[in-house]
Amino acid sequence: MTEQRVVVVDGVAGYWGGRVAERLLAEPELHVIGLDTEPPQQGSGIDFIQADMRNPLLVELLKEEKVQTYVHLAFLGSERPSETAFDFNVMGSMKVLSACAEAGVTRVILKSSTLLYGAQPGNSAFLREDHPLNAKRNFGALRDLLEIENFLAAFRSQSPEVKLTVLRFAHILGPTADTPLTRFLRDDTAPMLLGFDPVVQVIHEGDVINALAHATLNDVPGTYNVAARGAMPLFKLAGLAGKFTLPVFHPFAYLGESFLGPQFTPIDFDYLRYPCVGDLQRMREDLEFEPAYLAEDAVREFAALRKQKAAAPAMTPQEAEEERLRVIIERRKNIRQQAASGSSTRPQPRGHPEADAVAESADSSLYEEKSQ
Partner 1 sequence: MTESKKTTRRRTRARSAAVPSELKPSNGDGEVKVQKAVAALEEISVSLPNPAVEKPALESDRPGAAAENEQEIPVEQLQQQLLQELNDLIARLKELSPAFAPAQFPAAQNVIEAAQGILGKANFEKLRSVAGDLLDLDTWKGAWFIANQMAQLQANTLQRRLHGEYETDEWGMDPEVLEAVTPFFEFLYRKYWRVTMTGLEHVPDTGRALFVVNHSGQLPFDGAMLASGVKLDHPRNRLVRTMFASWFPTLPFAAPLLVKCGQVLATEDNGVRLLENEELVSVFPEGYKGVGKLYKERYQLARFGRGGFIRMALKTRSPILPLAVVGAEETYISIAKSDVMAKLIGFPYFPITPTFPLLGPLGVIPMPTKWYIDIGEPIPLDGYNSRADQNLMLVSQLTDQVRGVVQKMINERLAQRKSVFRG
Q: Between residues 95 and 307, which has the closer beta carbon with respect to partner 1?
A: 307
Among 81, 221, 239, 347, binds partner 1 (CB under 8 A): 239
Q: How many residues does the chain have?
A: 372
Region class of 179: left (phi > 0), else alpha (psi between -120 and 50), else beta: beta
Among 240, 315, 328, 357, binds partner 1 (CB under 8 A): 240
Terminal-residue alpha carbon distance, the chain:
38
Q: Which of 363, 323, 183 is nearest to 265 (CA)?
A: 183
Q: Between residues 100 and 200, which has the closer beta carbon with respect to partner 1?
A: 200
Residue range at the interface with partner 1 (CB under 8 A); choices 37-45, 48-56, 65-73, 242-250: 242-250
Please tell me whether residue 254 binds partner 1 under the rule CB under 8 A: no
Among 43, 45, 122, 313, binds partner 1 (CB under 8 A): 122
Q: Between residues 101 and 240, which has the closer beta carbon with respect to partner 1?
A: 240
d(CA 206, CA 173): 9
Please tell me whether residue 199 binds partner 1 under the rule CB under 8 A: yes
Q: Are 334 and 297 in contact (CB under 8 A)?
A: yes
d(CA 129, CA 131): 5
Among 26, 57, 154, 194, binds partner 1 (CB under 8 A): 194
Please tell me whether residue 7 binds partner 1 under the rule CB under 8 A: no
Please tell me whether residue 151 binds partner 1 under the rule CB under 8 A: no
Please tell me whether residue 196 binds partner 1 under the rule CB under 8 A: yes
Please tell me whether residue 256 binds partner 1 under the rule CB under 8 A: no
Please tell me whether residue 231 binds partner 1 under the rule CB under 8 A: yes
Please tell me whether residue 193 binds partner 1 under the rule CB under 8 A: yes
Following DSSP, what letter does each residue of 260-276 receive, concatenated? H-GGG-SS-HHHHHS--
Q: Between residues 6 and 185, which has the closer beta carbon with respect to partner 1?
A: 185
d(CA 151, CA 157): 10
Please tell me whether residue 344 binds partner 1 under the rule CB under 8 A: no
> For the chain, how big is the Rg over CA atoms in Å?
20
Please tell me whether residue 237 binds partner 1 under the rule CB under 8 A: yes
Please tell me whether residue 85 binds partner 1 under the rule CB under 8 A: no
Helices (H), 159-294: 180-186, 205-217, 234-240, 250-260, 269-273, 281-285
Please tell me whether residue 310 binds partner 1 under the rule CB under 8 A: no
